[in-house]
């Protein structure tokens, strides 16, 4: 493994609101790669300069960062300039997927199902938004993940406080139709025509509240993998996940999140290009269901590390 991959940096930590989760993901990935014989080293981008990556002779990196400055295309662009191969999607796909508003616009252009939405800001008459999207609805910052800044609005009087919670992270806030039903997620591995979906997972959080605590720390959340779904529904959800992934130009790996309504219709919510890799995370869970261990998953993702822009330039 050392001969195949060289010196590998596991980028973790960072400076986003998801730093705590990234620290857990990175440690898990580094330990898994080391157990497989990879010369892997932790590298906290929140405390160290990327210039040190090249200076210290890293041959490739595994991105275990979540949120801004790690999942949004910025670090991917820097790694392209440094010429260091990295895991996951390139700068454009990462940036698109990190922006939930732009993601939904791209999906709609491809005919993919996603809940109705509108963008609101400080000049929006908030009390009119529920008239257009109905109640309940969701308000969230479009550039954050892990349920950061998200509020379920159940009454007109909740709008102002919910907007303020999301506006702490973004100047523009995404208002989205609330879909009542089952929460599903689908991990996707590979690139282009080779991209494939892993088994569908259903998430059942206490009271339907799959928040930050229930995602990463609570043992009360239940996961069903594969999800108990009619075969045709599971097939449809998996197919939509791969189409959504390809529509954004994603590579390497990712995870599409869905709501399945009471009529068994799937609705795309978002796509994560650098999903969590903690003990509670969903991509390792889906991989395990098809016989892929955590370490094997990490090695498989690492094996696809590349410089996307440089590769495109060389092939032009």
22 or 145, which is more confident: 22
Q: What is the pLDDT of residue 147?
A: 75
Which residue reads 């550039």 in tokens?
143
Distance CA 62, CA 275 (A): 12
Q: What is the mean pLDDT of residues 18-45?
A: 96
Q: What is the mean pLDDT of residues 295-302?
A: 97
Distance CA 181, CA 261 (A): 4
Distance CA 250, CA 286 (A): 19
pLDDT class of 179 with cuts at 50, 70, 90: very high
Q: Which of 308, 312, 260, 235 is nearest to 83 (CA)?
A: 308
Sign of CA dihedral 307, 310, 314, 316: positive
* Token representation of residue 307: 């410089």
CA atoms within 13 A on the CB side of 222: 8
Specify whether the CB–CB gap between 140 and 169 falls below 8 A: no
pLDDT in tens, 60-102: 999 999 998 999 999 999 999 999 999 999 999 999 999 999 9
Q: What is the pLDDT of residue 210?
A: 45
Domains of the chain, each with CATH number or no CATH: 2-87 (3.40.50.20), 96-112+180-301 (3.30.470.20), 117-177 (3.30.1490.20)
pLDDT in tens, 230-288: 999 999 999 999 999 999 999 999 999 999 999 999 999 999 999 999 878 999 999 99
In the chain, pLDDT over 90 holds for what percent of residues?
85
Q: Which of 239, 115, 238, 223 is nearest to 178 (CA)?
A: 115
Sign of CA dihedral 103, 108, 114, 116: positive
**Residue 192 three-state SS:** helix
Catalytic residues: 18, 146, 216, 255, 257, 270, 272, 276
Q: What is the pLDDT of residue 17?
A: 85
């Amino acid at each position: 493994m050392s001969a195949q991959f060289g010196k590998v940096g596991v980028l973790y930590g960072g400076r986003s609101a998801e730093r705590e989760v990234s620290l857990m993901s990175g440690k898990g990935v580094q330990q898994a790669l080391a157990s497989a014989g990879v010369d892997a080293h932790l590298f906290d981008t929140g405390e160290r300069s990327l210039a040190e990556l090249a200076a210290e002779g890293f041959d490739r990196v595994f991105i275990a960062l979540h949120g801004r400055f790690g999942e949004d295309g910025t670090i991917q662009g820097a790694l392209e300039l440094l010429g260091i191969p990295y895991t996951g999607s390139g700068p454009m796909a990462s940036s698109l997927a990190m922006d939930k508003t732009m993601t939904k616009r791209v999906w709609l252009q491809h005919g993919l199902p996603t809940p109705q939405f509108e963008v609101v800001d400080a000049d929006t008459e908030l009390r009119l938004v529920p008239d257009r999207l109905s109640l309940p609805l969701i308000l969230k910052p479009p550039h954050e993940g892990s349920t950061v800044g998200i509020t379920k609005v159940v009454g007109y009087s909740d709008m102002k406080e919910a907007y303020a919670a999301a506006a702490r992270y973004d100047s523009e806030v995404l208002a989205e139709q609330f879909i009542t039903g089952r929460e599903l997620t689908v991990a996707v591995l590979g690139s282009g025509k080779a991209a494939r979906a892993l088994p569908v997972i259903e998430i059942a959080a206490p009271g339907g509240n799959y928040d930050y605590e229930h995602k990463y720390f609570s043992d009360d959340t239940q996961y069903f993998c594969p999800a108990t779904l009619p075969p045709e529904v599971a097939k449809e959800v998996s197919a939509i996940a791969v189409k959504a992934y390809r529509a954004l130009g994603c590579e390497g790996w990712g995870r599409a999140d869905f709501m399945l309504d009471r009529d068994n219709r799937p609705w795309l919510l978002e796509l994560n290009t650098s999903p969590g890799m903690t003990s509670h995370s969903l991509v390792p869970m889906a991989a395990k269901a098809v016989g892929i261990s955590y370490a094997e998953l990490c090695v498989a993702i690492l094996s696809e590390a590349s410089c996307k822009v440089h590769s495109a330039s060389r092939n032009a």
